[in-house]
Structure 1
Amino acid sequence: MAQPDWGLDTEPLSLASAPVPEYGGGSLADLLPTLASGLAVPGCAPAMAELAPADRNCVFLIDGLGWHQLAAHAADAPFLASLMASSRGGTGRPITAGFPATTATSLASVGTGLPPGEHGLPGYTVRDPGTGELMNQLRWHPWTAPHVWQPYPTVFQRAHAAGVHTAQVSAPAFASTPLTKVALSGGTFHGRLDGGDRMDLAAAQLAAGDRALVYTYYSDVDGMGHRHGVDSDAWRARLAEADRLAARLAEQLPPRCALYVTADHGMVDIAQDELHRIDFDEDWELRAGVALLGGEGRARHVYAVPGAAGDVLAVWREVLGDRFWVASRDEALAAGWFGPVVDDRVLARIGDVVAAAHDDVLLIASQREPKESVMVGNHGSMTPEEQLVPLLEVRT
């Protein structure tokens, strides 16, 4: 696949200008299959040829740490910043998250090794075709069977079945969530509240097998970005903590090991004014013909009432087309936004209209989504600040 052009146009938007993620060779979905291939796990291919095989592999995912944010705050994360020049197997390049650039979608891509169109978690909130209601894919409906919603085995499950020592080390609250079940299960889950304890245990798990695949996670960078923004003192403090944790883990790596530090998405700060925050709940034009509004402020799924999809597309393009890439479902699929393949079971989860922010703008819903509508830091779209994430490497 040709490398996307991550420069943003200044002319009126066309769908051709949207920088589609590097599915198939440079996205989050390609990481674990490549590592597992080096461990001789059946069914896993080395999609990222620039990554040399290792007997022991660890993925440390820092939620919300985009490539551009790390570069802009290198002084706050000296260890991580020192690895940027050799990111992505020595190329000095980032990888892409996938669309939408949001946690549920990205973690499913990491764990399954599949793009969103196949694993079927194509947004923050999406329509459940079985009920006709929106489902938050971080929280889920209690009546939704996780392995019906996402039926594919994870790479961790494949690795465990192939005799690889496999473990996840994360906060205890994530042990049995539906997202963990469908995206990150396989081997053993170890819950630790303290970040330092997680790093120590991840290193111990790597040493526990001649072949090992270990995943660990830190969420606070994302949380502080949402609440305070990606240039706030609170955000920078959490970045500095993530840097210390990564260095702590790197110092304890056993022999024949590769550590990869990556992220699920970047983030952009959006000003708290009407110019930058368009309120769906206060705009009768945008609401006309819309049955459900899904996704999030920078990556919207729009579900039309029956027979109104064409009209909704026309209005959304007229109102938002100079600030958002606005596509019909068929256009988004043809452009590869959700990957080269979209399973039939996933089609109705994707909006009749899909809108991805190009400018520093947010489509909020102040009444339906009061908490999300006031967040400072946001993500979801295909801009470089949201899409590009590091793939930093330490080897022993």
Structure 2
Amino acid sequence: MTFLIYVLKFSILIHISASSYTYGIIHNASIKIPFDIPDNLGHELQVQRCDQCLCDAFSNPKVVLLTCTENGSMNFTCQFYYFMPKRDEIQYPRNDTKIYLIQNITFEEKDDCCNTTYLIEKINAALNFKKAVFNRPLRFLVRGDNNMIVSTSKDKLIKFDRSKLEVVNEPSIPESTTVGYYDKYYYLGKDNTIRVYNEALISKITEFPVRNDLTAIRFLNDKEMLVGTALLGGFICEKQQEIFNSCINTPVVPATGQLHAFGIVDENTFYAGWYANNRNLGLYTKDQNNSWKESTSGTITQNEATSDIVIDDCKRIWAVIPEENKIFIYDQNKTHPHKITFDSKIFNLFILDNYTFVTSHETKPGLNLIQPSLNCRKPR
């Protein structure tokens, strides 16, 4: 009897050893999951050796893979997964952890959202299910305090929670046509004056003039703010102490119409767009002498008026074309834009995770939510 028990134990160990290597072990790696795994998707076990977890795994047909993490001498934690994580969720290096592949299933791939044709297909499918989330007219959309989305509606600053796009707060402000936020301060623009408030928007900290009626406020880096005007082009306002209130009189973008759009590529590069027909999107770069120059090689030929420009993670240029109810998306080659058509006039655009995005409108509904079915991998 003792001999039979020994043979049985020996057979199980051979099975475990062979099976554990059948589909492979990934050494020095773990699975990066951004949430606690619920009971219906996995379970956890504390053991003295990793091979003890294999018995549990092979006896449970739901287990797809497991990770075994060393916590100390004779102290290991096994996390069992009933689903196959994405390949992008493999975390390297983790010298204390191994991944055991229990079933002959490959890691799922995330979506290649830098494939513009694929992205457009997903967006067009999602347009049929777009959702109105705010019913008052809105114009500019910017990132506000606590990572919220912010806009203005007459004499209100509207703060939206990013995750649910619900209105969090509507503090009263002086009537403003444009808004910006950077590092604890709100910049509210009306006519040729920018008023600066703290996050609480209770009292005005300061105000300063610009040379013409304001059309746009965008932040280029931690030292420079871009200001667009109706007639005199675009200006740089430099930071003095904590506030961007030292505006240079010489425009960095020429006066050729209402300058409504800035698309920030990086701290030394931006695109500019005009609310005027037959005006190209211009690319502006800072040279070695800290002077701003237009880069003609980066010009995007476009005949339509533009109200907003956004640069996405794949370095594509999204241009909002309000008079045609369209968004043009230019690939890196900057020719032959992909076009997304809406059923109402758009003014601004704000892109969230996985290319979920919101559009603002000067007529009802003021804010639309579009949610493509995407799970994007990080751009390579």
TM range, smaller chain: under 0.3
Structure with more contact order per residue of length (Cα contacts < 8 Å, sep ≥ 6): 1
What is the TM-score when the length of structure 1 is the normalising length? 0.23
Structure 2 length as normaliser, TM-score?
A: 0.24
